[in-house]
Structure 1
C-alpha cells in the first residue's frame, strides 16, 4: 500500500556504555561508550517501520538546513522524502544506557520552534495515499492551515490515524486519534486511572475533536476503543512483555493500526492487530531490533515465544519447556504447568499441531483446533510462550529452542522419553513433576458428551 506519514522528524541517538566508576568530584556515573546508534525518530521512525513492513512510503515533513537535517535525509533509505524547510534547528534526543538500563536522556533543539515551510509538493503527496499516519511531535508543522485542510480532505476517503502530542495541534475532524494515558488526561481534563478513566476521556475527546474514533493506549493494559458516545467501549488486552524497552511503541501501534484499517479491517479488528503487532515489536527488542534479521522460526512457530527464549538466555536465565496436545485444558494440566514454570525463568509449551494430534489420538481428535489451544495456553499466567510443531514427537522443536529443563508430568522413565537423550546433548535435563490422578482429557470429553 501507499502510505504517507506526515509529521516532525527528530534525530534519535542511542549511546550504550559501561559504568564501572563514579567521578571523583561528585557521585555521578562515568559512562565508557561502547556503541552509538543514530536513527530517524518521530515521524521518521514511523516511516522506517512502514517501509520495513514492505509498504511504499512517502514522508511529508520539514527539515532544518543544518548538518543534522542533512544526516536525517540519509537515515531514511527507501523512503520518499517530500520536505519543506524548517527555520529551527534539528531536534536531537540522545538516550544514554548501561547494560540496557537508561541512565539519562539529553535533548537538544527543544526550544519553541518557528513555523516551518509547507510546499505545494507536500500537499500533492497526500493525494496519492492509501493511508495516512500523522506523527505530531509539537514542531508546528501540523498547525499549518493548508496542510490541515489537505489532511481533512484525504481523511474523508482513506484511513487517517493521528498520534497526538501534548504540544501539538488539534487533530482534524474525522481522524482516528491514538492518545496514550498521559495525553488523554491532559487533553480531556479527566482525572483518574484505569479503564473507567480511559473511557470517560475517550468519550470527551471524540466529541471535542469530532474524531471518527479515539483509541487510548494503556501500555501493558492494552488499548481502549471508543467509536460512539453510547454503548460500550472495546478493551483489547495486551500480552505481558517483561522488561520491554517501550521507546517507539506508540509509533508502532499507530502505524500498524493504519495498515489494518487500510486493508479494510473494522475498527475492533484493527485495534486487535495493532496491539498484537506492538507486542511483537516489544518482545523482539523494540526500536533496537529494527532492521535486524529475526530469529529463524520453526514452521508455524510463534515468534513471541522464540523472543522470550532468546531474552531469558541472554540474561543468563533458565529456559523450561514442556509439551503435549492440551486438547481440553483441565486442573491436572494447570498444576503440571505451574510446577514446570517454578523450575526456571520462563516456560515454553511445545504444542502438537492438529495433524499431529490426529495421528496420535485418532480422526476424532483434536476437540479444539490448534489456534484455540494456543490462545488458551497463552492466556495462562504461567505460560510465557507457545510453539506449534507438526511431528509426532517434540524432538526437533526441542533441538531448535534448546531448553535447559524438559518437563513431563507423570511417572516416566528416561528410557520412555526420546527427549531425555536429546536434551542431554547440551547439558540439559529431563525431569518429571507429580501426576494428578483423576484428571484426563478423555475422561473430561466423555463427561461432556454424556450431558450434551
Structure 2
C-alpha cells in the first residue's frame, strides 16, 4: 500500500485531510484485515486500599479488592485495532501455562483471532503485575521468559504468519524485546518483504528492523534519542525543530518511509520524506494513566492508513485516540464509537465572538501567545494542514476564523463553498493544532482582529504583508504580521478542478 497516495475524490470533497464523523464512521466499518506480530503480554492489575504499613518493614500494605486482566504489549495493539473495527489476527508465542491461556481468552473476548498463536511447552508467558492503591501505582513485578525461542518455535511462528497474512491489508510488527521476535523470525520477515502489505513497526529498537524498510515506524522520544545517539532537547517546540533537522538520520537509521515520533504530553512529530514536518498536540494526562497509549496510537494510525487516508490524517486520528486512553487508569482501549463521538462534538465547534473574546482574555492572562489566521478552508488539503501546523508553532494558541457561506460566495463565486461553514468549522476543529474556531460574515476579519487583538496575525500564500488589508489594524495595537510559505498547486480551486475533471487529487499525503 502506498501511504503517500492522496484521498479519493469523494473523500476530498468531504473535507480533504480533515476528520469528520462520517469519515471516521466509514473508516471503522470498513473492517480492514490486520495481522499483529509481536510480543504479547498479560497485564494484571491488583487494586485496593492502602492505609497502613507492614510490621516487618516500612512498606505499604494493600488490601486487594479487585483483580483485572488485559492483553498487553503487542496484544494491546491487537485489541485496540479490533476496537476500531479491524479484523485482527494475533501472531505470537505463548507458554502452555495458565497465563498463556488467560491471555488468549482475553484476546478472544475482545474480538482478536488467536488461531495463529503458537503455544510452546518450553516458554513461560510474560506477565506484568501492577499493584495500585487508589490512583497510585505502587509496584510492578514482571514474570515469564523473554529470551529468543528455539528453531522449532521460530519455524512455527513464520508458518502461522504466512497463513495469517493471506488477504491482509496491513501487518503491525511489535518488538518489545520479550522474546517472540528473535533473529530467525526477523530474517524470515525480510525474505517475505516483497509480499507484505502496509507494514507498521513499533519497536524498542527500530534500527534492528532497518533492512525491513517499514512504511511507518513509531519510536517514542527515548527510542528516537537512542537512534540519533544523543538526548532530545527539553520542550515541545525544541524537540520538533531538533527532530526535523535530523529527519534524514532517522530515516536512514530506521529504513522507514515515514517516522512518527511520539512525545507523550508534547504530542507527536511526523517526518515523511521531504514533506513539511507535521506535529500533533496532546491533551496531557498523569503519567500513571498513560499505560498502553503508544499501542493505541499505532493501532489508530494503522486503521487509518489501511483505509486509504493520508498519513497526516492518520497521525491526527492516532493522536485523538491516544488522548482518549491517557485519561483513564489501567491498560485502556479506544473504541470506534468513542472516536466517532469525539469528532461529532466538533460539528458545533465554532465559538461566537463574545465567547471567544472571553477565552482569549483568559489565555492572555495566563501568559499565552495567541496566533490568529483566517480563510475559507473550503476543501481542506495538505497545503492547508501544513500551513496551520506551522502557524500553531508560532505561539501557544491558534485561532482560525472561517468565512461564512455568504462571504465565500462573494469572494469565490456562486458555486462555492463546496462544504457548508458548519462542516468546514468542524473539520478544522478536529485538527490537534487548532485550539479555537470562529465564523465571520464580512469579507475580511478586520473587526474581529480589533476585538481580539491577537499577538500574531498569520496568512498563508503568495502574499506580502503590504498586500493584506488586515496588517495596519494588527500593527496599530502592537501585533505582528507573518506570511507563511505557499504550497504550489495545492489550492482549493486546483483540488476542486481535479475532482470535477474526475482525476482525483494526485496529492502526496
TM-score for the superposition, normalised by structure 1: 0.66
Report the CA distance shift for 1:370/1:158 in structure 2 as closer, same or farther (over 3 A).
Answer: same
Are residue 80 (structure 1) and residue 119 (structure 2) matched?
A: no
Partner SS for 1:14? strand
Shift of 1:161: 0.5
Per-residue Cα deviation, 1:156-213 (whole angstroms, up to 9, x for no partner): 6521110012499434432021111111222332333223443456432321332222
Q: What is the deviation of 1:46?
A: 0.9
Q: What is the SS of the residue equivalent to 2:300?
A: helix
Structure 1 residue corresponding to 2:298, chosen from 244, 247, 254: 254
Measure, in 2, the Cα distance between the counterparts of 1:80 and 1:37.
Answer: 21
Deviation at residue 17 of structure 1 after TM alignment: 1.5
Give the secondary-structure state (helix, strand or coil) at the position aligned to 1:46: helix
Q: CA deviation at 1:373?
A: 7.5
Q: Distance in 2 between matches of 1:291 and 1:265?
A: 19
Q: Secondary structure in 2 aligned to 1:287?
A: coil
Q: 1:38 offset after TM fit, Å?
A: 0.8
Counterpart secondary structure, 2:225: helix
> Which secondary structure state, in structure 2, belongs to the residue aligned with residue 95 of structure 1?
strand
1:117 matches 2:150 = no
User: Distance between the aligned counterparts of 1:366 and 1:93, measured in 2?
Assistant: 49
**TM superposition shift of 1:104:** 1.2
Query: Cα deviations across residues 78-106 of structure 1 (Å, max 9, x unaligned)?
Result: 22210224432111101111221211111
1:103 aligns to what SS in structure 2? strand
- Which residue does 1:127 correspond to in 2? 166
Equivalent positions of 1:168-207 (< 5 A) are 169-175=208-214, 176-193=216-233, 194-199=239-244, 202-207=247-252
1:235 to 271, 278, 287: 278
Report the equivalent of 2:307: 263
TM normalised by structure 2 equals 0.59
20 and 186 in structure 1: CA distance in 2 versus 1, 3 angstrom threshold? same
Counterparts of 1:59 and 1:146, CA distance in 2: 15
The residue aligned with 1:409 is none
Separation of aligned partners in 2, 1:68 and 1:19 = 27
How many Å separate the matches in 1 of 2:90 and 2:173?
10
User: For the residues of structure 2 that align with 1:10 and 1:48, how far apart are their CA atoms?
Assistant: 12
Residues 206 and 212 in structure 1, CA contact (< 8 A), matched pair in contact too: yes
Once the two structures are TM-superposed, the CA of residue 39 in structure 1 deviates from its matched residue by 1.4
1:293-333 Cα deviation digits (max 9, x unpaired): 96996994259x9xxxxxxxxxxxxxxxxx9523895x555
Superposition pairs of residues 267-416 of structure 1, within 5 angstroms? 267-283=311-327, 287-288=331-332, 300-301=344-345, 325-326=352-353, 329=356, 331=357, 334-335=360-361, 369-371=424-426, 374=429, 379=434
3-state SS, counterpart of residue 11 of structure 1:
strand
Structure 1 residues 208 and 80: CA distance shift in structure 2, 3 A: same
Tell me if the contact between 1:21 and 1:29 (Cα under 8 Å) persists in the aligned partners.
yes
| Structure 2, unaligned runs of 5 or more | 1-31, 234-238, 367-401, 411-419, 439-449, 454-468, 474-509
Residues 7, 135 of structure 1: 8 Å contact kept: yes
Write the distance in 1 (CA, Å) between the matches of 2:430 and 2:309: 21
1:287 offset after TM fit, Å?
2.8
Describe the superposition over 1:327-376 as per-residue Cα deviations: whole angstroms up to 9, x where unpaired.
Answer: 895x5552268789xxxxxxxxxxxxx9xx99xxxx99979953278469
- Check the 8 A contact 1:328/1:368 in 2, yes or no: no
Q: The residue matched to 1:117 in structure 2 has which SS?
A: helix
1:136 and 1:40 map into 2 onto residues whose CA distance is 15
* RMSD of aligned alpha carbons: 4.5
Moved more, 163-172 or 99-108: 163-172
| Contact kept in structure 1, 2:281 and 2:432, CA below 8 Å | no
5+ residue gaps, structure 1? 306-322, 341-353, 389-437, 442-446
Question: Following TM superposition, by how much is the alpha carbon of 1:18 offset from its aligned partner in structure 2, in angstroms?
Answer: 1.2
